[in-house]
Structures are given as structure tokens and as C-alpha cells.
């Protein structure tokens, strides 16, 4: 039976009526009590800088104080978070959405690295691997963050590379290490010991009981400092010979990807068994693209294309549009079930159809994010119980075209069936770690109208550092698959981008910025961001309330990390979810896993056009914070 918007997937029978009404009332009362924020919102009139590390937010504020715009500040925060190893390093990847106030358009920046020349499916399959490795030099795609930062700065910033890298270079000279990063290094030390440069950088107390830098100890990275200094020197030399600001920044880009920095990167990577070649770095490029978009409740929502999971949000919002979500009650069993089932359908499409759009055949992304396809997908939604076999749709046959991967689609569905009933609690715990793999996020805005949302990642601990560059390499290779039946658009090929989870967001209202927001957390990112948006649009929360609000997590999709685990019916909930809601969800076939916090470290800026001000929010866990003026 098709699932129409007004159907209620609660257990049937009049005996439940009073219980359900009482449950909805108590659930609403409980959520209101829990929505009092633990952190105050930020307020600003001139500019706002928010990111995952307090010192990195300070870097953004410093750039604003020097007269820089939001792009300059975002680049400074990106450089600082990479230097501080906030779940990323300089060898990772960067992707951004930028609102240009002069054109009134949203711009997408694609600085995701590519698989190097030797990275073929056969290469990894011959090693007996089911998926590409999750750490080490063979897990690395080409570095994207340095190029992404420099192109973003050159095209849309106002300051020099030297100015923007200044705070990061000071941090590389030495800064007091946070306790969280110290503990992370210590937990990762057995992996770090495999790679000579990583031992040298991260384990200054080798042989002692605690080998990582201590909390509060000055953590120095002289080799990284020299690499950044080389980039600055290339810029200075270009300016001395008469190049303009943009040309000088791109001279630094050339030195990184084609000069002596590239030489050291390639040699350092290959010395540890990696696959980079000089051609891989020289041929890589940053793409400035058109984003994909849809409308929801009077908003225009912009996301990156199918080389990340961003279009999933558009698919989810399109399917949710006919539903009266507010009347269901926030995080009632009906609300959770409806959103969970819609997410299942959208993520199944992601797992099969998303990939690098620069490799043929073209992904059917415009069909996938269309309103009509969303209505078609809703016909398969189960109103009563979780559907563990919810799989990809067929946008080709629906639109009257032949599916180029029809046989692989059958294999994908069969693969999902094989996972049913095979999960034990130990594997569920590993799934959770894989799904929640963190990174950082960056939001910046200024009074002239520039807005930027960035979700960089890659090179998290334990990172293999390439030679004497000080640059930790990415582990993004693991987001590829090796067999077409696991997702034919995302099979690894040299020069191809893996389908990443990273997903900044910008929402416009009446052509003006209304929200910019992103979050860390692997495969939970889009789930958190959808629920954050619904918190504001449907339930009237302030931005800080929405950042801290209780979310839930679906694990019923192929993970983008590790062994790409699949856990049908697994549902992560916050511990304060009422018992009657839990009972109803379990009756619908869900496997509940509770946690103290479930919302992910969301960062966001709300644009209050009535008063000409900014509101900033950051979740109440993790180190995410901001500075405004």
C-alpha cells in the first residue's frame, strides 16, 4: 500500500489512542524542557567566524581584523585546523559553497583529491582486499586542501597568501596541544610508528609510557612550517617580478603541485609504499562548479554535486515536502519512522548512483533530485514497519531510459539481502565508529555579503606524513568500492574522485542568505543537517537550539569507510527519548542504540535580515566555537 502523507504508522487499535495522545503530549513537553541550550548563541553585526578549534576561530577573527573578507577568514581557519590536526591534515580534501553578493549566486568548490596512477580495482583486489585500505600511504588520494585553499583565496579573497597563512605558520612553530588531540595521538601511536616521518612528528617521547606530546606541551612542526614558508616565498617572488595578487597565489600553487614540494611529497609517499607520481599531482586541478539545488518550505537549498553525498539532502527534502511534519511532533515515533524511511530511500540511491561526475557515464543526478522522482519513490515507503530491504530506485526506467547498470542494480540489492541478520553487537559498534568518522567544519560571513561554508577533511590521525613535508596524507581511498555491484559509479580508477561524505550547505530565502551550515560525522552528516534544518523550519528553534537539539541516526545505508558496513534497522537515539517512543519504534522493527549526544558538532550562521545581524551556533560538544563582531 502506498504511504500517503496523512497515514500514521503507529500500531493500530483504539486501545492505543489515549496512550498515543498522552505520548505525543509528554514527548512535546519533554523536548521543550530539553531544548534549553547549554551554550549561548553568537551575535555579530560585521562578521562571524566559526570552526572546530578555538584557536582556529581566533585565526579567522585575526584575518577579519586585518580587513579581510569572509573568504580570507575561512582560508585562515582552514589552514589553522589542518595545522592543529582537527581530524584533518594538509594532505586532505576541501569542498566549499560560497555565496557571491555581487552576482547573487552560490558557487561550488571541488578540491577533492583523486586516485593515483596505480590505484586500480585489480591492484587492491589482488591484495585480497574487499575495499581499498583505510589507513597508510595506499589509502591516500592526491592532496586537495592546499590547492582548494589557494584557488578559493585567489578567486574570491582579498588578502595575500602570506597574510592568510600567518596564523597557521605561527601554530606550526609551536602551540600548546589540546588534551583531546594528545589523547588521540597516544591512542593512534601503534599505527603512527609504522611510518618514519609520523613517528618523528607525533611521538616526541618515543619509548616512554606516554609517547605523544602531553596536554599543554608546545607541539612543534618545523617541517610543515618550512613547507608553508616555501609557498609564501613563491608568492613573494611572483609579486617581486610584477605578478598581481591572484597570479602570485597561483605561483605558490604551482610550487606545491609541480615544484620542489611536489618532489618531496611524491618521494615521501612512495618511500612508504604509496602510489603517487609527479603526473598525478601536476594533472590534478580544482573545479569551480555549479551547485545542485531544490526548494523546501520557501527556501532554496544548495549542495555540492554527486562527488559527495550532498544531493541526498535534496532528495530527502523533496520526499518530505508533502508531509505535515510539525503535527507529528518532534522525535515522536511517527516522525522518526517517516524520516528514517525517507532517508533509507535517498541513501540507497546515493550508495548506487553517486560518483565522480567527470567520469562517464553521467550520474542521473537531475532526475534523482527532481520533485517528480521524489513522489515516485514515496510509493515504495512502508507506513507500518522498517523496511530492511529498501533499495535504490531506477531513475532511468522511471524516465523511460535504459539503465546502464541494470545487472549491477540486481547485484546491489542482493548484497543488501546478504547483510540481513548477520550483525552482532561488536560489529554494530564498529559500524558506529565508521559512520561517525569526524572532520571539522567552517562557517564565515561578513557585512559585505560574502558567505562561505566549508567541510574539509582527510589526513586524520593516524596520518602517514609524506617525507619532510610535514603533510599528513589523506585516507579517502577507502570511500571507493572495488566491485560494480557495490556502486558502479564509485569504482576506483586512476584520476577519479571517491564519493566523499563531506557536505556544506547554504540556504537562501528571497535570493538572500538565510542559513549556512555544516557538520562533521561521516555518513551521519546529511542526516544531522536535515534534522537541523527541520528544527529551524518546522519547529521554530533558534539556531543554537537547533544545533543542540536531539537527533537520531540511521545506519541503514552502506558506510563510506572501512568495510562499508550495512546495518538494517539500526537506529541511534538520544538517551532521553521517552520509553513509550522507544517501545513503539521497537515494535516497528528498529534496533535501538542510545547515546548521550546524537546531534553531531553542527556549526551554523543564521542571517537576521530584519535587524541586519548574524546569529551563530555551534553544538554543545566537541571544541567547535566561533567569534563575532
Residue 35: its pLDDT value, please? 67
Nearest-10 Cα torsion for 343, 345, 349, 352: 100
Q: Which of 319, 298, 241, 330 is nearest to 35 (CA)?
A: 330
CB count within 10 Å of CB 377 equals 23
Q: What percent of the chain is modeled with pLDDT above 70?
A: 91
Residue boundaries of the structural domains of the chain: 14-41+290-439+500-628
> Is residue 86 very low, low, confident or very high in pLDDT (cuts 50, 70, 90)?
confident
Residues 406-437 pLDDT 10s? 999 988 887 777 766 555 444 445 555 554 55
54-65 and 161-173 helices cross at what angle (nearest 10)?
Answer: 150
3-state secondary structure 305-374: CCCECCHHHHHHHHHHCCCCHHHHCCCCHHHHHHHHHHHHHHHHHHHHHCCCCCCCCCCCHHHHCCHHHH
Residue carrying the nine cell digits 605558520: 169
Burial class (CB in 10 A: 0-12, 13-18, 19+), 612: exposed
3-state secondary structure 255-278: HHHHCHHHHHHHHHHHHCCCCCCH
Residue 302, strand partner residues: 293, 506
Average pLDDT estimate for 50-73: 97
Average pLDDT estimate for 80-105: 96
Q: Which pTM does this prediction carry? A: 0.93
Handedness of CA 181, 269, 75, 609 (dihedral sign): negative
Regarding the domain delimited by 14-41+290-439+500-628, which CATH topology (the fold level of the hierarchy) does it fall under?
A: 3.60.20
Residue 17: its pLDDT value, please? 41
DSSP helix/strand/coil, 96: strand
Q: How far apart are CA 535 and CA 335, in angstroms?
A: 12
Q: How far apart are CA 10 and CA 28, in angstroms?
A: 17
> Is residue 20 very low, low, confident or very high in pLDDT (cuts 50, 70, 90)?
very low
Q: Let me know: does 75 contact 147? Beta carbons within 8 Å.
A: no
What's the Cα-to-Cα distance from 509 to each of 375, 454, 505, 513, 514, rounded to whole Å?
Answer: 24, 20, 13, 6, 6
Cα–chain center distance at 390: 24
What Rg do the C-alpha atoms of the chain give, in angstroms? 24
Amino acid at each position: 500500500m502506498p504511504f500517503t502523507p496523512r497515514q500514521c504508522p503507529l500500531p493500530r487499535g483504539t486501545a492505543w489512542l489515549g496512550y498515543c495522545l498522552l505520548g505525543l503530549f509528554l514527548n512535546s513537553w519533554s523536548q521543550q524542557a530539553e531544548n534549553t541550550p547549554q551554550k549561548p548563541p553568537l551575535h555579530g553585526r560585521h562578521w562571524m567566524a566559526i570552526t572546530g578549534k578555538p584557536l582556529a576561530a581566533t585565526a579567522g577573527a585575526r584575518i577579519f581584523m586585518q580587513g579581510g573578507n569572509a573568504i580570507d577568514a575561512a582560508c585562515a581557519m582552514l589552514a589553522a585546523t589542518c595545522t592543529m590536526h582537527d581530524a584533518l591534515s594538509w594532505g586532505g580534501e576541501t569542498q566549499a559553497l560560497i555565496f557571491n553578493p555581487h552576482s547573487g549566486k552560490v558557487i561550488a568548490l571541488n578540491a577533492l583529491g583523486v586516485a593515483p596512477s596505480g590505484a586500480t580495482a585489480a591492484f587492491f583486489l589482488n591484495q585480497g582486499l574487499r575495499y581499498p585500505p583505510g589507513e597508510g600511504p595506499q589509502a591516500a588520494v592526491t592532496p586537495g586542501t592546499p590547492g582548494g585553499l589557494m584557488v578559493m583565496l585567489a578567486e574570491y579573497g582579498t588578502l595575500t597568501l602570506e597574510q592568510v597563512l600567518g596564523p597557521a605558520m605561527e601554530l606550526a612553530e609551536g602551540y600548546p596541544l589540546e588534551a583531546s588531540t594528545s589523547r588521540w595521538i597516544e591512542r593512534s601511536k601503534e599505527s603512527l610508528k609504522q611510518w618514519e616521518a609520523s613517528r618523528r612528528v607525533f611521538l616526541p617521547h618515543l619509548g616512554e609510557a606516554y609517547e605523544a606530546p602531553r596536554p599543554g606541551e608546545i607541539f612543534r612542526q618545523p617541517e610543515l612550517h618550512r613547507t608553508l614558508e616555501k609557498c609564501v616565498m613563491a608568492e613573494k617572488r611572483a609579486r617581486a617580478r610584477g605578478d598581481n595578487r591572484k597570479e602570485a597565489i597561483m605561483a605558490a600553487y604551482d610550487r606545491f603541485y609541480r615544484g620542489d614540494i611536489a618532489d618531496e611529497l611524491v618521494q615521501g609517499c612512495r618511500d612508504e609504499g604509496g602510489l603517487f607520481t609527479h603526473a598525478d599531482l601536476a594533472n590534478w586541478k580544482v573545479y569551480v562548479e555549479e551547485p545542485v539545488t531544490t526548494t523546501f518550505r520557501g527556501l532554496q537549498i544548495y549542495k555540492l554535486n554527486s562527488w559527495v553525498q550532498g544531493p541526498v539532502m535534496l532528495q530527502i527534502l523533496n520526499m518530505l515536502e508533502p508531509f505535515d511534519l510539525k503535527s507529528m511532533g518532534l522525535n515522536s515515533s511517527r516522525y522518526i519512522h517517516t524520516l528514517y524511511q525517507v532517508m533509507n530511500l535517498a541513501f540507497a540511491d546515493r550508495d548506487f548512483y553517486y560518483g565522480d561526475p567527470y567520469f562517464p557515464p553521467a550520474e542521473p543526478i537531475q532526475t534523482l533530485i527532481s520533485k517528480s522522482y521524489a513522489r515516485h519513490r514515496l510509493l515504495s515507503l512502508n507506513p507500518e514497519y522498517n523496511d530492511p530491504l529498501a533499495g535504490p530506485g531506477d531513475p532511468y526506467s522511471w524516465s523511460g531510459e535504459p539503465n546502464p547498470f541494470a545487472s549491477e542494480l540486481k547485484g546491489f540489492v542482493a548484497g543488501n539481502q546478504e547483510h540481513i541478520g548477520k550483525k552482532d553487537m561488536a560489529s554494530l559498534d564498529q559500524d558506529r565508529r565508521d559512520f561517525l568518522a569526524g572532520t571539522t567544519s567552517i562557517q564565515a560571513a561578513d557585512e559585505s555579503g560574502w558567505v562561505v561554508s566549508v567541510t574539509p577533511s582527510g589526513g586524520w590521525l593516524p596520518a602517514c606524513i609524506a617525507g619532510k613535508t610535514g603533510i599528513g596524507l589523506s585516507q579517502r581511498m577507502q570511500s571507493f568500492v572495488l566491485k560494480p555491484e557495490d556502486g558502479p559509479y564509485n569504482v576506483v580508477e586512476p584520476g577519479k574522485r571517491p564519493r566523499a561524505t563531506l557536505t556544506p550547505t547554504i540556504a537562501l530565502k528571497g535570493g538572500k542568505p538565510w542559513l549556512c551550515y555544516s557538520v562533521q560525522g561521516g555518513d551521519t552528516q546529511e542526516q544531522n543537517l536535515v534534522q537541523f534544518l527541520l528544527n529551524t523550519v518546522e519547529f521554530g528553534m533558534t539556531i543554537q537550539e537547533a544545533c543542540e537539539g536531539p537527533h537520531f541516526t540511521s545506519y541503514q545505508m552502506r558506510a563510506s569507510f572501512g568495510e562499508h558496513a550495512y546495518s538494517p534497522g539500526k537506529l541511534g537515539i538520544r538517551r532521553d527519548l521517552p520509553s513509550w517512543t522507544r517501545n513503539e519504534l521497537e515494535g516497528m522493527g528498529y534496533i535501538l542504540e542510545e547515546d548521550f549526544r546524537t546531534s553531531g558538532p553542527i556549526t551554523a550562521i543564521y542571517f537576521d535580515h530584519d535587524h541586519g545581524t548574524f546569529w551563530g551556533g555551534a553544538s554543545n560538544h566537541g571544541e567547535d566555537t566561533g567569534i563575532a563582531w
